[in-house]
Amino acid sequence: MNEDLKAEITKLKHEKHATILVHNYVEADVQDIADFIGDSLELSRKAKENQAEIIIFCGVRFMGETAKLLSPKARVIMPAANAGCPMAEMCQAEALRAWKAANPEAYIVAYVNTTAATKALVDICVTSGNAERIVTKLDMKRPVMFLPDQNLGANLNRKLGLNMMLWNGYCHTHNRISPDDIRQAKAQHPDSSVLVHLECKPEVVELADAALSTAGMLTFVQKSNAKSFIIGTEEGMIYRLETLFPDRQFYGLNHPILCPNMKRITLPLVRDALLGKGLEIQLSDEIMTKAVLPIERMLEMS
């Protein structure tokens, strides 16, 4: 049944001149029919060089919006209309506008996990794949606000000895990972390297061998001599790693780490999106013009 659906999707994709971009966290079946699978940074780069008429974006809404900003001529369709990122919603444009009015001198660094309306108000974007590289180059004599992820911001502050102000957002999925989860996994698999996402709390990052973006995890495994790894991020990543590195062993934590929004994207919805359903990303001209600037700045610096 899935094989028939996969064949139907491939046929429709060619007929409609569409490309399918998929984030590393999405269901295994959907990863299998992707034209490209990656982290937020890689997906942004792919969207920028896109030539297809339609992008079927299998990720959460802020990722689809970023694709639209970077590929304005393409129609960007989200198969699951309700796949959002709760962390992105934790910094609404209205709240940021008020904060900026009270802090006009601040330079604003936005994690790419923000709405397009919020991006239109910030100086530069970063992803977890390039945050360290970019933040290191900024003029820290000015007050700097990092938003919305307080964990990513705190991890950067700690590692780089910075004092950025932090918005109080976080990712429910990663914030749930505790130091005890990591200790238990290490006790069960003592020879494994521990990789966690940079959205985890600093006290979790402290116990890991590396804190990375999802693409950073792939590179780490590729370069590592270790035979097995404990993976502290959304479970879709484990399928991705197993597919690329069948000779290595990957362990999750003692409870499921799931992003319910990423898991809303299914093969039938991808097929339906190619048949004209799904949610098309529409942004006003003003947001298109303003929100692309911090993303372009990020791509130039990364």
* Residue 23 burial by Cβ neighbours in a 10 Å radius (0-12, 13-18, 19+): buried
Tell which one of 20, 30, 41, 85 touches ligand SF4 (CB under 6 A): 85
Positions touching ligand 13P (CB under 6 A) are: 24, 39-40, 113, 127-129, 171, 197, 199, 213-214
Smallest gap from Cβ 233 to ligand 13P, in A, equals 7
| Candidates 100-108, 121-129, 242-250, 257-265; binding stretch for ligand SF4 (CB under 6 A) | 257-265
Smallest gap from Cβ 211 to ligand 13P, in A, equals 11
Terminal-residue alpha carbon distance, the chain: 42
Smallest gap from Cβ 63 to ligand SF4, in A, equals 8
**Binding site partner of 86, from ligand 13P, ligand SF4, none, Cβ cut-off 5-8 A by kind:** ligand SF4
The answer to whether 57 touches 21, Cβ cutoff 8 Å, is: yes
Question: Three-state DSSP class for 4?
Answer: helix
The answer to whether 102 touches 266, Cβ cutoff 8 Å, is: no
Q: Which of 278, 275, 265, 273 is nearest to 29 (CA)?
A: 265
| Candidates 26-34, 136-144, 169-177, 201-209; binding stretch for ligand SF4 (CB under 6 A) | 169-177
Interacting positions 6-45 with ligand SF4 (CB under 6 A): none
The answer to whether 293 touches 30, Cβ cutoff 8 Å, is: no
**Binding site partner of 65, from ligand SF4, ligand 13P, none, Cβ cut-off 5-8 A by kind:** none
Q: Determine if 91 is a binding residue for ligand SF4 (CB under 6 A).
A: no
Question: Three-state DSSP class for 231?
Answer: strand
The rounded distance, in Å, linking the Cα atoms of 228 and 22 is: 25
Q: Which of 186, 192, 177 is nearest to 256 (CA)?
A: 177
Q: Determine if 234 is a binding residue for ligand SF4 (CB under 6 A).
A: yes
Tell which one of 194, 231, 259, 273 touches ligand SF4 (CB under 6 A): 259
Q: Determine if 238 is a binding residue for ligand SF4 (CB under 6 A).
A: no
* Nearer residue to ligand SF4 within complex by CB, 85 or 164: 85
* Residue 141 burial by Cβ neighbours in a 10 Å radius (0-12, 13-18, 19+): exposed
The rounded distance, in Å, linking the Cα atoms of 112 and 180 is: 29
The rounded distance, in Å, linking the Cα atoms of 268 and 9 is: 9
Smallest gap from Cβ 240 to ligand 13P, in A, equals 10
Chain residues in the site for ligand SF4 (CB under 6 A): 60, 85-87, 113, 171, 173-174, 199, 234, 259, 261-262
